[in-house]
């Protein structure tokens, strides 16, 4: 493995003002090295709490620790705003742009423009298909889905479910991660459908991961299945909570296992209350740190070898893929111990007793 090796990219000679004289160490470095200023565009603040509560916080933490300038903005699920923010950041002199795309088409336009202006680019969390980002930093997203499939299966077994009907609430059809999550849970569940151990119920993708729409969609699924849904593969905690809200209306919560992702406060509370089977914890602090390190290196004209690539068509995109972790009732405390959420956030009023039961002190 060549992990962590640091190679210095060719030093450009295109700086304005030309080379400074030899021996002049007055600080005017004539290299491609620039003072890092990093722009980050987050996608929205509704599809998952993580973007504002975890990513913003941990990115700020990483940039501050490194002493670099930064500008973090949120496109609030508006593709036009996304492009406008990118243009403003490029004009404002960012040396690196980190994006969480809203779809590959608009993401690509932003990445290509940044590239043409000499701005380094990183796909943060979501890969832009057909894009031009120099790095991709994320989690092993197929494993995220696999953990969800295994989690649902474990909870169905614990409930003693016989030939359970499993419904799917997939993520946004324009998010490459949603495709990877589905590939992961299908790898676990499809063999069970094929073996007639489980029954495939209704399946829908939720546009833009819209939590409110997910509740409507799940209500329709439940009606379509005549109320007979025994397990819900929900691709993240927001979609899971939407399903739980409908199950509650039908007095089915706690009986029907539901999955999730992101270890959100709400998701963890649903797990503690017994309404959600599991979530997938992704240590966003590590993701933010890895992306920040790469963005700073690129600004300095350095090229880090990540030791791993991901295929996007014919292109091998240098990548950092971190390891996700399944969380059940007995491991909610691990997420708190890791500093991702606090006990005070999770163990509010109605949840105090569930916290005590789960060993959260």
Instruction: Give the interface with ligand BGC as residue ranges (CB under 6 A).
Output: 47-48, 50, 125-126, 171, 175, 177, 209, 236, 261-262
Q: How far is the CB of 263 from ligand BGC (least distance, A)?
A: 10
CB neighbours of 105 closer than 8 A, spacing ≥ 6? none
Cβ proximity to ligand BGC, 198 vs 218, nearer residue: 218
Cβ proximity to ligand BGC, 165 vs 284, nearer residue: 284
Cβ proximity to ligand BGC, 261 vs 292, nearer residue: 261
Q: Find out whether 34 and 68 touch, Cβ atoms under 8 Å.
A: no
Question: Phi and psi at residue 123, in whole multiples of 5°?
Answer: -85, 115
Cβ proximity to ligand BGC, 56 vs 126, nearer residue: 126
Q: Please give the structure tokens belonging to residue 185.
A: 């849970």
Q: How far is the CB of 227 from ligand BGC (least distance, A)?
A: 28
Q: How far is the CB of 332 from ligand BGC (least distance, A)?
A: 18
Q: Find out whether 33 and 337 touch, Cβ atoms under 8 Å.
A: no
Q: How far is the CB of 14 from ligand BGC (least distance, A)?
A: 36
In angstroms, the CA 337 to CA 360 distance is 10
Q: Give me Rg for the CA atoms of the chain.
A: 22
Q: How far is the CB of 265 from ligand BGC (least distance, A)?
A: 14
Q: How far is the CB of 239 from ligand BGC (least distance, A)?
A: 8
Q: Please give the structure tokens belonging to residue 344.
A: 């005070």
CB neighbours of 175 closer than 8 A, spacing ≥ 6? 103, 126, 209
Cβ proximity to ligand BGC, 68 vs 283, nearer residue: 283
In angstroms, the CA 100 to CA 277 distance is 28
The number of beta carbons lying within 10 Å of the beta carbon of residue 222 is 23
Q: How far is the CB of 127 from ligand BGC (least distance, A)?
A: 10
Cβ proximity to ligand BGC, 34 vs 182, nearer residue: 182
Beta-sheet strands, E only, within 26-150: 37-42, 69-74, 96-99, 120-124, 135-139
Quote helix, strand, coil % in the chain, to nearest 5: 45, 20, 40
Name the maximum alpha-carbon separation found in the chain.
81
Cβ proximity to ligand BGC, 210 vs 275, nearer residue: 210
CA angle 256/260/264 to nearest 5° reads 125
Cβ proximity to ligand BGC, 299 vs 317, nearer residue: 317
């Amino acid at each position: 493995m060549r992990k962590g090796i640091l190679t210095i990219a060719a030093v450009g000679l295109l700086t304005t003002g030309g080379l400074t004289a030899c021996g002049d160490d007055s600080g005017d470095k004539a290299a491609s090295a620039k003072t890092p200023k990093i722009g980050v565009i987050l996608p929205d603040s509704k599809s998952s709490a993580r973007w504002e509560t975890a990513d913003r916080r941990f990115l700020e933490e990483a940039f501050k620790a490194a002493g670099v300038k930064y500008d973090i903005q949120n496109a609030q699920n508006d593709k036009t705003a996304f492009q406008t923010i990118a243009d403003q950041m490029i004009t404002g002199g960012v040396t690196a742009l980190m994006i969480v795309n809203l779809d590959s088409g608009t993401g690509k336009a932003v990445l290509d423009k940044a590239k043409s202006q000499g701005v380094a680019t990183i796909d943060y969390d979501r890969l832009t298909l057909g894009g031009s980002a120099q790095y991709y930093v994320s989690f092993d997203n197929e494993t995220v889905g696999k953990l969800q499939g295994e989690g649902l299966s474990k909870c169905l077994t614990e409930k003693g479910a016989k030939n359970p009907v499993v419904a799917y609430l997939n993520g946004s059809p324009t998010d490459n991660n949603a495709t990877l999550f589905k590939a992961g849970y299908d790898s676990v569940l499809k063999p069970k459908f094929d073996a007639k151990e489980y029954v495939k119920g209704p399946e829908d993708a939720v546009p833009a991961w819209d939590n409110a729409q997910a509740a409507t969609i799940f209500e329709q699924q439940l009606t379509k299945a005549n109320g007979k849904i025994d397990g819900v593969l929900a691709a993240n905690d927001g979609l899971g909570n939407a399903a739980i809200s409908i199950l509650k209306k039908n007095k089915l919560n706690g009986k029907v296992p539901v999955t999730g992702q992101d270890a959100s406060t709400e998701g963890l509370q649903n797990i503690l209350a017994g309404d959600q089977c599991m979530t997938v914890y992704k240590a966003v602090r590590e993701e933010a740190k890895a992306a920040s390190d790469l963005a700073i290196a690129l600004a300095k004209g350095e090229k880090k070898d990540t030791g791993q690539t991901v295929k996007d068509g014919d292109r091998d995109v240098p990548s950092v893929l971190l390891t996700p972790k399944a969380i059940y009732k007995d491991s909610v405390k691990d997420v708190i111990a890791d500093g991702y959420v606090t006990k005070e956030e999770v163990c509010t009023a109605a949840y105090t007793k569930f916290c005590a039961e789960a060993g959260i002190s």
